[in-house]
Amino acid sequence: MTDRRIRVRFAPSPTGPLHIGGVRTALYNYLFARHHGGTFILRIEDTDQARYVGGAEDYIMDSLEWAGIKVDEGVREGGPFAPYRQSDRKEIYHRYADELINRGDAYYAFDKAEELDRLRQEHESRGETFNYGCTTRMNMCNSLTLDQEAVKQRISTGEHYVVRYRMPDNEDIHFSDLIRGDIVVNTSTLDDKVLYKSDGMPTYHLANIVDDHLMEISHVIRGEEWLPSLPLHVMLYRSFGWEAPLFSHLPLLLKPTGKGKLSKRDGDKMGFPVFPLYWPYGETASGYREEGYFPEAFVNMLALLGWNPGTEQEIFTMDELIAAFTIERVGKSGSRFDPEKAKWFNTKYFQMKSNEELADLFMPIVKEKGFSPDASTLVKIISLVKERTGFVKELWHEADFFFVAPETYDPDVVRKRWNADSSLQMRELREVVAGVQPFTSEILEKTVKEWIVSGPYNTGTILNLFRLLLVGASRGPHLFDIAGLIGREETLRRIDDGISRLSS
Ligand code: GLU
C-alpha cells in the first residue's frame, strides 16, 4: 500500500462526553495519518438513536480542535466522501442489507422483543445464554423458517423486522491485527448479529463496514472494546467481496490502580478529569481544558499512554510525535493512567514557556481581580514565582501579595514568630528600609543584612517577621525581591500596618 492511499478515521458515537481514551484513539489515528502523509477522517456514528445525546457531536469536534488534532474530512470540514454523519447517509445502507440477503448471507427476522426476552430469561434460569445463531435460528420466526410468500406478506403489511447476518456454522476464520497478531475464531461461537432494522436504520456493524469501504479506509485503529466485533466485520467484508482494511485494536486506558478501565468515577474519587473539556449537560463533568492544562501537555501525556518511542524521551511536540509514531510501538497491554504524571507534563510545559508568554496568560486573571499592572511588571513577577507551580490558574495564589497587602496573618506563623520584642525589631527595620537608596532588591538586601549583623538581632528572626508583614504568611519567593517589586512606600505601609495589627 503506498503512503498516498493511507486513510484512517475516528468514528465516535455521540452518546455523551468524549472520554480521554477516545481522544487517544483519535490522536493515534491522526499521528498515523500524518506520519504517512495520509488523511484523517472524522465520521460521526449516530445510528443508535436511543443513545444519541444532543451536544455530544459538537463536544467531540471541539475536543479534537482544542487538542490540536486536525480533521481533514468530516462533518465540519466536508470532503469528497460527504456526508460524514451516518444519520445523513441513511439511504445508503438499505441496499447493502438487501445485497447480503440476496447473497444468502443475511435474513429477515420477525421475532417479537417479548419472545426474545422470554428465551433469554429461560436460558438464564438454566445458567445458559441465549444466542440467536446457528443452533437456534431454525426454531425462530425468520425468512429461513417461513415460506417466501409469508415473508413478503409480513414485510408488505409493515410488520417490524430486523435483518440478521447469517454466521456460517463451525468455520475457523483467520485474521490479523497489527497490534495483536494473528487471531482465529470459530464461527460457532458467534451469533447472528442484527445489521438493519425496518425503521430504516442500520446497526453499528453494517454502517461501520459499509462506510469504511465507501470512504476507502485503509487502516482501522480503534479501542480494544471493538475486538469482539472484529470476526463479524471480517465476515462482512468477505460476504461483500471487499478488501478489508488493516486492523489495530488499542489497549485500554486503566484506572490509576491498574485494575479495570478508567472511568468517570475514578476521576471523581481522586479529583482528576477523564474528559478533555467541561461537559455542561445533565451530569456535568470537569475537563482538562478548564482544569488549566495546556493542550500540548495533554496530548503529550496521552500519546505516551499505550505507545512508546523506544527511547527515554518524554517531551514531544505534535510534530515530533508525528515523526516518531508507529503502530509497531503500540503495546498490547493496558496503560495505567497516572493523574500525577498528567500534572508533571503540564508543569514541564509550563516551565518551558517564556516569562512573557506566561505573563500574557496570567494578565486576564490579574485584570479580573481588578489590577492592571504593566506587562513588564507581570513578566518580573512571573520570573519570581514561575518555579512554584505548573498551572497558570495557580499563579494568582503564588503571586497575590504582589497586588494585595495582607489583611490577616497566618495564626501559626504569628504564634511561632511574633513575641514581645517583635514590634520594636520591626520598627527599627522600618527605619533601615526607609533609608535604602536606591530602593532595589539587591541594595535593600545588603543594607538590611548589614544592619542585622551589626546589631543584636538574629537574621532568621528578623527576616521571618519581615516576610510575615509583607505577605501575611511564610510563603512566597525571595523576600527582598517582593519588597523591591512592591516598592518602598508599599513596603513601609505593610510594616506599619503589621506592627499596629499584631501588637494590638
Ligand atoms: N462508533 C464506534 C465507537 O463509538 C466506532 C468503533 C470503530 O471505530 O469501529 O467507538
Could you give phi then psi for residue 463, rounded to 5 degrees? Answer: -70, -35
Among 94, 91, 112, 110, which Cα is nearest to 102's? 94
Strands (E), 112-227: 162-165, 172-177, 181-186, 194-197, 219-223
- Cα→Cα distances 426→198, 452, 453, Å: 86, 12, 15
- Burial state string for 98-117 with b = 16 or more CB within 10 A and e = fewer than 16: eebbeeebbbbbbbeeeeee
Sorting pLDDT into bands at 50, 70 and 90, what band is 228?
A: very high
pTM exceeds 0.85, yes or no: yes
Stretch (H or E) spanning 20:
helix 20-35
Query: Going by CA atoms, what residue is nearest to atom 6 of ligand 1?
Result: 11
**For residue 3, is pLDDT > 70?**
no
Q: Residue 488: which pLDDT band, with cuts at 50, 70 and 90?
A: very high
Per-residue model confidence as pLDDT tens digits over 408-420: 999 999 999 999 9
Nearest to 297 by CA among 348, 257, 222: 348
What is the position in ligand 1's atom list of the atom closest to the CA of 10? 8
Burial 260-298, CB ≥16 within 10 A → b, else e: ebbebebbeeeebbbbbbbbeeeeebbbbbebbbbbbbb
Mean pLDDT of the chain: 97
176 DSSP 8-state letter: E
3-state class (DSSP) for residue 316: coil
Kindly list the protein residues whose Cβ atom lies closer than 6 A to any atom of ligand 1.
11-13, 45, 204, 208, 222, 226
Report how far ligand 1's centroid is from the alpha carbon of 199 (Å). Answer: 22
Active-site residues, by number, are 264
222 CA from centroid of ligand 1 (Å)? 7
What Rg, from alpha-carbon coordinates, does the chain have?
A: 33
Residue owning the nearest CA to atom 5 of ligand 1: 11
368 pLDDT more than 70: yes
Confidence of residue 504 (pLDDT cuts 50, 70, 90): confident
Share of the chain above pLDDT 70, in %: 99
- CA of 503 from ligand 1 middle (Å) equals 68
Which residues are paired to 173 by β-bridges? 185
**CA-based nearest residue to 293, from 23, 16, 47:** 23
